[in-house]
Structure 1
Amino acid sequence: MTSMPDFLHIDPTARRVSLDGRNPAFYSDPNRVYAALHQHCPTFFWEEQRQWFFTGYDHVNALLRDRRFGRQILHIASREELGLAEPAAHTAHFDLAERHSLLEIEPPEHTRLRTLVNRAFVSRHVEKMSGEIEELANRLIDRFEKDGQTELLSSFADIIPVTMIARMIGIPEEMGPQLLKWSHDYVGMYMFKRSRADEDAADRSAKEFADYVKTVIAERRANPRDDLLSHMIHTEHKGQFLTEDELVSTTIVLLNAGHEATVHQIGNSVRIILESGLDPAAMFADAATTERTVEETLRICAPVHIFQRWALEDVEVDGVTFKRGDKVSLILAAANLDPNKFTDPLTFKPERNEGANLSFGAGIHFCIGAPLARLELNIVLPLLFKRLPGLKIAAPPVVKDVYHFHGLERLDLRW
């Protein structure tokens, strides 16, 4: 039996849950709460969020693929019809940047955008970057190896994903720190209980980000290169080219999604490996064990926890009736801990081989950057432990208050 945390209140009969998403006891260790939800109430109405949530693996997996649900609703119904408020004026720049985001649109627009971008992210193209990833990781470790200690996020994890996605798209690498700042502000819009200050920062950064991307687009229009941005500008799909707004939205979402989650996952993975007390050399003995270890870290400490969907029609799921225009939430990280799918789910078992985790989603919105993220993790994690034998956690890691993302404030290591 899973003990119930005292800050979590579950009414299994009514399937209602009360939980403060900003409580450090929750976001620091959400897995304990997910275990209690699986035991008592895997499908529930979260009082504070005023929404239904699903945690069961089969439900989450099915709903991610269910075309009766989608990432947008205004393509089939008006705001008046659905009783939705008008967009806020102070987030107009953010809303414009999101309007054509791959994460937020449905077919046929989604199909057209994704088709243009997809080719760059398929495994065979991404794998050509292996040498570059390894070279960059080694160069970063060279800088701090002799110190006997480092703060891993700022010296390593922050740098690798943003550098690689910037190279791929065609953004100068020296923009890395600025991209990180814009991205952190931007994703603040997805946090629970965001403040007006968070919204203002996100809108300001969305405008600066978009203005910068437009300057790079103008350069690539005049002087195309062998990069993804040039490809998106100059390639047509069924006679159509991407508009300026579509190019800006797509570039921003690729830069954000291409590094934010992977930064978190490098930190989460190193932490879980070190706290397990298991031998890293055994986990990274060869390509097969490395791959299993990486997938197990993705399962047990996913970097993105929740994806939402709109009901596009009246529909019933697990005895809950949804009307067109209702929003539902799928907790990917909780689905990864479903005891009906994974044995002893709260235990880190690098040798585990019980099926796919849902950390990258599923269906038409499956993470386009998954091959790149997996490649980065499969290269940099073994390298880190090989180059720094005797790696230990030097100070208790603190989890960021950014739920529904999951990552560390910092990770202090010594060796």
Structure 2
Amino acid sequence: MFHWAEYGKTCVTSYAAVNAILRDRRFGREVPWDQQTPPAPHTAPFYAVDAHSMLELEPPRHTRLRGLVMRAFTSRRIAALTPEIAQLSHDLVDALPDGPFNLLTHFGQRLPVTIIARLLGVPESMSDDLLRWSNAMVKMYIATRSREMEDAAADAARDFSDFLRGYIEQRRNQPADDLITHLIAAEEAGEKLSTEELISTCILLLNAGHEATVHTIGNGVKALLDHPGAMAAPIDAVVEEIMRFDPPLHMFSRYAYDDVDVMGQIILKGTEVSLLLAAANHDPRAFDRPEMFNPQRAPKPNLSFGAGLHFCIGAPLARLELQVALPILFDRLPGLHIVDRPVFADTYHFHGLERLMVAR
């Protein structure tokens, strides 16, 4: 552990400690009541969405919301997307420019946002709006965000919510075979999702369903191009090593709800703890020669999707997209190579490229 003075945070780096805290119910996502402050009026639309997001909630509300979502977000529904992911991957490769191109804008972004839009039942014509709204909203998690970023996030949250409110009402009257319809129908112990909970859940699934996957595709393709021959390994092992080696999220935070002894270090009640996921995935006590990209390494769970109560609900979809799309990309473009220095985005807690210039 170390104290990050610039941000006033206690940071945890080892695999054992990060894994333990993620699973320990004495830590949680909700800000302790005595540390809560009302949001600034100009950020109210963003926090109106955040207030119903299961990402930020603890039991019993988290249990209820996640249970309802899991009734609609089933493994069978995810697996059924395999042919669509494959066809879309081929379509995106067919549409690639002849000369050098940015893999992120032509492939990495288009694939996950299109798939999550189809899964939810949102028109694919909204993809550009979804990307714009998502990119604006996630900037609220930047530690040194500006007023301009806050205004943009609030505007995006308002526009996103207005669109979904109308679309949810349409689906109430005209059900379809999509996730929004199934979320409307989902019921547990006589309870259903309210409209505000539906809006927050759809925004969470849309944002989380593509934002991290975009970064994982970019980071993964870069790693594979930097390590020729790595694609010869089984694709599920390749995907897990991509997630371990270069995860799309730098860190995830928890609050201590009691004084807790973690590996001999007392973390005081109320302390915000930042769990550095990539550091944990590169802990030499957990992974042999962790600095090496090695899909052949002995299987061991990485922490890129988190662990415990808040384990990423979209992990099966993210894995499936990578397992289907990456072999198609490399089979179709055997000469794919990097033509310019990759540029990582300055997004604080996310970790991904904004530019990966490649050619066939």
Name the structure 2 match of 1:322: 267
Q: Give the whole-Å Cα distance in 2 for the aligned partners of 1:85 and 1:129.
A: 42
What does residue range 8-47 of structure 1 map to in structure 2 within 5 Å?
Answer: 43-47=1-5
Please state how far the C-alpha of 1:280 moved relative to its aligned partner: 4.8
Q: Which of 119, 129, 136 is the matching residue for 2:71?
A: 119
1:88-108: per-residue Cα shift (whole Å, max 9, x none)?
Answer: 212111111000101001111
Structure 1 residues without counterparts, runs of 5 or longer: 1-42, 284-288
Q: State yes or no: 1:259 paired with 2:210.
A: yes
Q: Which of 1 and 2 has greater Rg?
A: 1
> 1:229 and 1:105, CA in 2 relative to 1: closer, same or farther beyond 3 A?
same
Name the structure 1 match of 2:25: 67
Q: Give the whole-Å Cα distance in 2 for the aligned partners of 1:344 and 1:108.
A: 41
1:78-137: per-residue Cα shift (whole Å, max 9, x none)?
Answer: 3xxx25433221211111100010100111111111111113434333111100000001
Name the structure 1 match of 2:229: 279
Name the structure 2 match of 1:270: 221
What does residue range 120-139 of structure 1 map to in structure 2 within 5 Å?
Answer: 120-139=72-91
2:184–2:193: 8 Å Cα contact kept in structure 1? yes
Q: State yes or no: 1:305 paired with 2:250.
A: yes
2:224–2:231: 8 Å Cα contact kept in structure 1? no
Aligned residue for 1:45, secondary structure, equals strand
Name the structure 2 match of 1:241: 192
Q: Give the whole-Å Cα distance in 2 for the aligned partners of 1:64 and 1:160.
A: 30
Name the structure 2 match of 1:96: 48
Aligned-residue CA RMSD (Å): 1.4
Q: Give the whole-Å Cα distance in 2 for the aligned partners of 1:407 and 1:259.
A: 12
Q: Give the whole-Å Cα distance in 2 for the aligned partners of 1:280 and 1:365.
A: 31
Q: Which of 59, 63, 76 is the matching residue for 1:107?
A: 59
1:120–1:126: 8 Å Cα contact kept in structure 2? no
Q: Give the whole-Å Cα distance in 2 for the aligned partners of 1:409 and 1:281.
A: 23
Q: Give the whole-Å Cα distance in 2 for the aligned partners of 1:328 and 1:282.
A: 39
Identical residues among aligned pairs (%): 51
1:159-199: per-residue Cα shift (whole Å, max 9, x none)?
Answer: 11011111111111110111000000000011231111111
Q: Which of 306, 330, 333 is the matching residue for 1:361?
A: 306
- Structure 1 length normalisation: TM-score? 0.84
Greater Cα offset, 292-301 or 86-95: 86-95
> 1:303 and 1:357, CA in 2 relative to 1: closer, same or farther beyond 3 A?
same
1:283-338: per-residue Cα shift (whole Å, max 9, x none)?
Answer: 3xxxxx11111111110100011111111122232343333322111111111000
Q: Give the whole-Å Cα distance in 1 for the aligned partners of 2:322 and 2:231.
A: 16
1:281–1:386: 8 Å Cα contact kept in structure 2? no
Q: Give the whole-Å Cα distance in 1 for the aligned partners of 2:296 and 2:133.
A: 38
Q: Give the whole-Å Cα distance in 2 for the aligned partners of 1:250 and 1:393.
A: 37
Aligned residue for 2:350, secondary structure, equals coil
Name the structure 1 match of 2:164: 213
Please state how far the C-alpha of 1:281 moved relative to its aligned partner: 4.9
Which residue type is aligned with residue 329 of structure 2?
Answer: L
Greater Cα offset, 206-215 or 116-125: 116-125
Aligned residue for 2:274, secondary structure, equals strand
Q: State yes or no: 1:53 paired with 2:4.
A: no
Q: Give the whole-Å Cα distance in 2 for the aligned partners of 1:280 and 1:347.
A: 12
> 1:346 and 1:280, CA in 2 relative to 1: closer, same or farther beyond 3 A?
closer
Q: Give the whole-Å Cα distance in 1 for the aligned partners of 2:205 and 2:3.
A: 32
Name the structure 2 match of 1:401: 346
Structure 2 residues without counterparts, runs of 5 or longer: none
Please state how far the C-alpha of 1:267 moved relative to its aligned partner: 0.6
Q: Give the whole-Å Cα distance in 2 for the aligned partners of 1:142 and 1:166.
A: 21
Aligned residue for 2:57, secondary structure, equals coil
Please state how far the C-alpha of 1:269 moved relative to its aligned partner: 0.3
Q: Which of 121, 124, 138 is the matching residue for 1:170?
A: 121
Q: State yes or no: 1:158 paired with 2:109.
A: yes
Aligned residue for 2:145, secondary structure, equals coil
Aligned residues: 360
Name the structure 1 match of 2:337: 392
